[in-house]
Chains A and B, each alone.
Chain A
Amino acid sequence: MADFEVPSIKEDIIVPHINPGVMEQSGPFVAKPDHQEALGFPGELVDNWQEAAVAKMGDMLKKYRSLKVFMDSCVKCGACTDKCHYFIGTADPKNMPVGRQDLFRKVYRRYFTLAGKFFPKLVGASDFTEEVLDDWYNYFHQCSECRRCSVYCPYGIDTAEITMAAREIMASIGKGMKYSNEIIGKVYKIGNNLGLPEPALADTLEGLEEEVEDDTGVAVKYPLDQKGAEILLVTPSADFFAEPHVDGLIGYGKVFHEAGVSWTLSSKASEAANFGLFIGSYENMRRISLRIREAAIDLGVKRLIFGECGHAWRVAYSFLNTLAGPFDFLDQRYPIPQHILEFTLGELEKGSLNIDKSLNDDMTLTFHDSCNVARASRIGSAPGSQFETPRAVIKAVCNNFVDMRADTIKEGTFCCGGGGGLLTDDLMEVRVKGALPRMTALKDVVENEGVTHMAAICAICKSQFSKVLPYYGFGMDQIVSVHQLVSNALILKGSEQESEQAEAEA
């Protein structure tokens, strides 16, 4: 199945002894000139790349307080060393958060600190050599920017910030990553990561309407570019056809239908994902975000809701107001933007949804907290609502729910292994190995609590798990969308299921 050794799941999540260099050859394909230029980066490695990289680093140190403070504050205490899923899965010490940061820090110290200029050996500073650049390219693409390390660092140092800065510097000297940059190009050209043009999208949505109508007898609409709708739904494009994502999209539509609100998707903003985050490019992240603002204005909507997607929710929740705000033209009585789970939980609490929990009785669920949701957002008004809201929705529609081990969920959640722009086949080894801690925690509840399925609210998590679960002896269909569970248990007004329910009760 794989041309590398798949780690075996042990009784517990084991912190390995370090094995230097084991992953030093593992890197993704480099972006081609077209991919680079579409984003405003040079096509290939520029001749004076070292000089250009150092200059870019100097520029970023002036623009990002995070980078400056994180470079200067690390005391090498080791608190983060056992916290990264890629270190746990690979044992390569450059996958320890501080090990990864030090690839950046040693260059920073050499060119920007007195100690590093005069005593490089003493403080571990190094010239920006070709070997260092190779290490940068490979190891900064073995980080999913999940922020788990930042929870445990006494100074809150977030390796994701450093990874993003390193990727931005590499892209700016002509060494970008193919996967993310090619995808961003598609967003600019077509409107979404998958390159689905408007007709294909319309066709897909029509297919969904037919499917739901066949299933229930109710004409639930999945509208596209409908001017004057109340709500614009922005969702990851994987929701349009990938499994189990699409079952989630079916669920959103059913919830909107039952709530009696008008809503629409947009072909212009047919993508919630924002890979500008992954490559650390403020400009690209902003340009991608502005599409959503423009779509909202063009369609004349009053509310903005995001579908199930982890990093997209981070960008939406934390950055959208900054990048594309202010949203003074939307209805201020609702959160801007709002998460689909906030909407659904609201409807559940209002009692507008007819739920038959027993329809999910064939499953025992657990929930995978997606890293960007867990450590960079809220889903609700209170801190920690990003953990409680999804669980509340799952428990409202399922009878059987069990959490995984406490140190592997909520703020301590382990990344699926495919986040941060790593969801590409050329990084399969990193992805599989990085999933080890999550797989270990999952196996524990599967064996001891009878868990059959794991729910998630992130398109990347869902795709990654569908691919990686089989490597560890699970089925690819054991990952489900939260709104798929809602969809299963939701009995539509006027549906065949409603009449059956009435008969059964009579």
Chain B
Amino acid sequence: MSILTGFFAVLYSLAGIVLFGGLAYRTWVFFKTPAPLKIPTTPAPTTRSGVAFRLVREVTIFESLFKSNKWLWLFGWMFHFGLFLVLLRHLRYVTEPVWGWVVLIQPFGKYASILMVVGLVGLLARRFLVDRVKYISAPSDILMLLLLIGIGLSGMLMTFVSTPDIVQLKRFLLGVMFFSWEEFPASIILVVHMLLVAVLMLIFPFSKLLHSTGVFFSPTRNQVDNPREKRHIVGWALKLESGDKR
């Protein structure tokens, strides 16, 4: 077994634990933190199903962002939708047998990478060209975009220019998942791609990428607008009530 294989096997075991464990923990903190007051941004749905539909609109068509700024919406949506298809396509590397619909979407997933990278470049350009956005950008905001662009471009190189030993890669990945390590297929471009993805996985739960689960816990979006009909009260607020209310 090569050093490269050992390195990537350890790296991906770690990255997987950090990503899924970290994200689960941070999301659990969101979940357990109480929301003492009803603060949905109105007009808001008055039923639970209405709220579910509002959240679905937010995460699929980015409704609020669309209201805000059409260019930003376009780039943001291109990136996220592209990434979504690309991720679905990548399921074939970690599932055996590969599900039928994953096979079907392969071509879409390939070309979605273009959508994704163009969107990212647009988002990056805004950070330099729009003075307001430049002002609020920290180095990490720009590095994050460069990281994603690096992942996209290295992936596209392998898809459209020089395909590595993909069958071996799949063996390697399944090996990491099921604790029976297989050789990592040595290829410079694959090493770069896999390194960048590991970095992304490792920083995910410690960064603003938490917006991926945060959006579902945002009280302005996930609360039902029914404060007159139903009393809303959380534990710590209830404690204040001992004895002073008639």
Contacts and interface: CB of A to CB of B under 8 A. Distances in A.
B138 A153 contact: no
23 contacts: A61-B33, A64-B35, A66-B35, A66-B39, A69-B214, A72-B30, A72-B210, A75-B141, A76-B136, A82-B69, A96-B136, A98-B136, A115-B207, A124-B139, A154-B62, A155-B214, A155-B218, A286-B237, A297-B246, A321-B231, A324-B245, A383-B46, A412-B67
Specify the main secondary structure of chain A where it touches its partner. helix
A247 interface: no
Contacts of A387: 43
Contacts of A317: 227-228
Interface of B: 26, 29-30, 33-39, 41-46, 58, 62, 64-65, 67-69, 72, 76, 123, 126, 130-133, 135-141, 143, 203, 206-208, 210-211, 214-215, 217-221, 225, 227-228, 230-233, 236-237, 240, 244-246
A411 B39 contact: no
A25 interface: no
Contacts of A73: 208, 210-211, 214-215, 218
A322 B233 contact: yes
A450 interface: no
Contacts of A325: 231
A77 B44 contact: no
Most buried by B among A79, A80, A121: A79
Contacts of A82: 69, 132
Contact of B232 (A79, A123, A153, A321): A321
B139 to A, nearest CB: 5
Lowest 3 CB-CB distances: which A-B pairs, in order? A73-B214, A124-B138, A156-B220
Nearest to B139: A122
A378 interface: yes
A308 interface: no
Interface size class of A (residues with CB under 8 A): 35 or more
Contact of B131 (A18, A68, A376): A18
Contact of A102 (B136, B203, B237, B245): B136
Interface stretch (A144-152, A224-232, A264-272, A455-463): A144-152
Most buried by A among B130, B207, B214: B214
Contact of B208 (A17, A74, A147, A384): A74
Interface of A: 15, 17-18, 20, 61-66, 68-70, 72-83, 93, 96, 98-99, 102, 113-115, 119, 121-124, 147, 150-158, 161, 282-283, 286, 290, 293-294, 297, 317-319, 321-322, 324-326, 335-337, 374-378, 383-384, 386-387, 411-412
Nearest to B41: A150
Contacts of A376: 39, 41-42
Nearest to A120: B138
